[in-house]
Amino acid sequence: MQDNPFDVHAEEYDAWFDRFPNLYESELLAVRAILPPHRGRWVEIGVGSGRFASRLGIDVGVDPSDAMARLARARGVEVLAGCAEEIPLGAASVQAAFLITTVCFLSDLPRAFAEVHRVLQPDGAVVVAFIPRDSRFGCLYRDSADSDAFFSHAQLRSTDEVIEGLTEAGFRVDRVLQTLTGDPATADARVEVPSSGCDRGSFVVVRGRRVQAA
């Protein structure tokens, strides 16, 4: 069985946020700008080392990597062992669910979105943040995938694929923001304020509302 790179290289993954602090802050700003208006029980699916959950007030995370979970717990996040395709939470048990740089590592995106729909309360929201396949960073990561411990396992998604997947799972997309709109070589020079749309950004954040059955 192939080793999980997030277990083997957890510290290396986590160190990225310290090496590129302005990229990290730009991404945080974009997610924070699209947070659901109502606080409740929030969960991050694929919480990783807890860098986003700990800064955004998300108190519960789900992740299949023991090494990542240890780092997230050290940042005060409660972590449940599990994956997006089989979320270890009850139906209608959370107010909001977040997938931040997670969808590219999912083998079954429709099943994951269906699971998110299941665990959300009727008025709940999902926030999906990702690197679009054809964005500048997306092209950079695809070109270097063979030598990258993490992106060699990734399947980058297009914005259309994410939005269509959410719609088919029973969500109504109500906001889309983007950041990291410039050259990747200089992207860490400053913190970028997010802007509307998804036509230029290498980090796109989509929010969807759970559509209630008629």
Classify the phi-psi angles of 146: left when phi > 0, otherwise alpha if psi is within -120 to 50, otherwise beta.
Answer: alpha
* pLDDT at 213 (0 to 100): 60
Q: What is the mean pLDDT of the chain?
A: 92
Degrees (nearest 5) of the Cα angle 112, 153, 127? 35
pLDDT confidence tier of residue 38, bands split at 50, 70 and 90: confident
Domain hosting residue 204, numbered range: 5-210
Percent of the chain topping pLDDT 70: 92
Q: Is the dihedral of CA 7, 12, 13, 17 positive or negative?
A: positive
* pLDDT at 13 (0 to 100): 87
> 107 versus 20: which is more confidently predicted?
20
Of 67, 30, 32, the residue nearest 47 (C-alpha) = 67
> 12 versus 4: which is more confidently predicted?
12
CB neighbours of residue 29 within 10 Å: 18
* pLDDT at 2 (0 to 100): 47
Amino acid identity of residue 59, one-letter, is D
- Residues facing 81 on adjacent strands: 63
The pairing of strands 171-179 and 203-210 is: antiparallel
Helix H or strand E encompassing 7? helix 5-8
User: Residue 119 is part of a domain; what is its CATH number?
Assistant: 3.40.50.150
* pLDDT at 64 (0 to 100): 94
Residue 82 pLDDT greater than 80, yes or no: yes
Cα gap 185→12, rounded to integer Å: 20
Of 103, 92, 127, 109, the residue nearest 168 (C-alpha) = 109
pLDDT in tens, 114-171: 999 999 999 899 999 999 999 999 998 887 766 665 666 778 999 999 999 999 999 9
Residue 87 pLDDT greater than 50, yes or no: yes
* pLDDT at 175 (0 to 100): 97
- In order of 12, 15, 49, 79, the CA distances from 71 in angstroms are 12, 11, 5, 10
How many domains does one find in the chain?
A: 1
Could you write out the DSSP letters of every residue in 103-155? GGG-S-HHHHHHHHHHHEEEEEEEEEEE--TTSHHHHHHHHTGGG-TTGGG--
Average pLDDT of the segment spanning 49-69: 96
Q: Contacts for 32-40 with beta carbons within 8 Å, 24 or more apart?
A: 32/56, 33/177, 33/194, 33/205, 34/127, 34/175, 34/177, 34/205, 34/207, 35/96, 35/127, 36/95, 36/96, 36/124, 36/125, 36/127, 36/207, 38/95, 38/123, 39/95, 40/94, 40/95, 40/96, 40/121
Residue 59 pLDDT greater than 60, yes or no: yes
Average pLDDT of the segment spanning 52-70: 96
Residue 214 pLDDT greater than 50, yes or no: no
Average pLDDT of the segment spanning 169-184: 97
